[in-house]
Amino acid sequence: METNVEIPHCFPRLRSEAEAMRTRTGYVYKDPKTGFWYARVTYTDSTGRRKDVKRRADNKTNAHTLLKKLINTLDKGGRSAIEAEKLTFKDLCDYYEKHYAIPAQYANGRKVAGLRSVASVKGYIKVFREHFGKRLLKSVAYDDLRTFRAKRLKGKTHQSEARSLTTVNREMAYLRRVLNIAERNGWIHRNPFKLGDALIHAADGRRRERILTFEESQGLVIACVGERAHLRPVVIAGLDTGCRMREILKLRWRDVDFAGGRHHRSGFQHKDHARASGGDYRPPRRRVGKALGGVGERPGRLCVRGHKGDQTCVQAGM
């Protein structure tokens, strides 16, 4: 026995299958004035306005092909993919510099935005901008990345020395980061780094970390005499606390508490005492306090980088 049930008016009318599966179609047409064929699609931009996208074709068949590509681009990447069709790699670099290559910002002692080494990253961006220039962002392919890597490995530094694999790996890592942002924003369908073999081989780079033995650390302190005497406070602070050079140079007296045997680091990574001293940990506050006592308001002010630090290591037999 069939029962007719009346559907209340508060429920919306069910759409037909055709309405539910409605898709973007667009159309092709021939301009009577110029005689050229065009493919045209309408979409709504980020401000809610309707915009038309058209592409000129050689003939009607080519116009239908371009129309399918336009529709596919809109379906996969949305309006941002259409708006990004004219973006160049230079535009991407400008966007990264404006929104990401900014000084580090901290909250509760932790880095929440920006970069600690802004200058070096901007140097990488400059290299990317010079190489890829005004190329359309969507045209950058995996082979272009491989060519860029090979060019950087063959090139020389500004000191006419061979560029290390570690440096190139670091550049490639930031290039991947920039392209990941483009992919996340819908400006490219997929990061070209993902379309081939790995281009970053961190294991092949030069090892940047080595744990000093107790004899080496003592020799390094002893070598800080004469014209290298100004390095002694920073060397002792680094050996006894495990801080990196950048961390020590940013320390101020308000960050140091000798009575409690602590110093505050604003969001920086650091090695622990066991790794810094080769496993021979000793309370650092007395030696560090004595070493930093005559430095001044900012402990790292008198420290210089460059050949004097290298000569100190040579003098210490390292």
DSSP codes joined into one string, 62-101: HHHHHHHHHHHHHHHHHHHHHHTTT-BHHHHHHHHHHHTS
In degrees, to the nearest 5, what angle opens at C-alpha 162 toward C-alphas 159 and 168? Answer: 105
Q: Hey, how many other C-beta atoms are within 10 angstroms of the C-beta on 110?
A: 9
Helices (H), 102-164: 118-132, 142-154
The chain-wide mean pLDDT, for the chain, equals: 75
Chain centroid, CA 186 distance in Å: 17
Stretch 103-122: mean pLDDT, rounded? 85
Q: Hey, how many other C-beta atoms are within 10 angstroms of the C-beta on 73?
A: 19
The pLDDT tens digits for 219-263 are 888 888 888 887 888 888 788 777 777 777 777 777 666 665 555
114/96 Cα distance (integer angstroms): 11
Stretch 59-82: mean pLDDT, rounded? 80
The pLDDT tens digits for 126-180 are 999 999 988 999 899 999 999 999 999 999 888 888 888 989 999 999 999 999 9
258/119 Cα distance (integer angstroms): 33
Which 3 state secondary structure label does DSSP give 115? strand
CATH topology of domain 90-204: DNA polymerase; domain 1 (1.10.150)
pLDDT (0 to 100) of residue 90: 94
pLDDT (0 to 100) of residue 311: 57
Regarding predicted confidence, which is higher, 310 or 278?
310
pLDDT (0 to 100) of residue 159: 83
Parallel, antiparallel, or unpaired: how do β-strands 27-30 and 37-44 relate?
antiparallel
* Percentage with pLDDT > 90 across the chain: 24
Regarding predicted confidence, which is higher, 296 or 98?
98
Q: What is the pTM of this model?
A: 0.60
190/211 Cα distance (integer angstroms): 41
Place 12 in a pLDDT band, splitting at 50, 70 and 90: very low
Chain centroid, CA 190 distance in Å: 17
Would you put residue 200 in left (φ > 0), alpha (ψ -120 to 50) or beta?
beta
pLDDT (0 to 100) of residue 243: 76
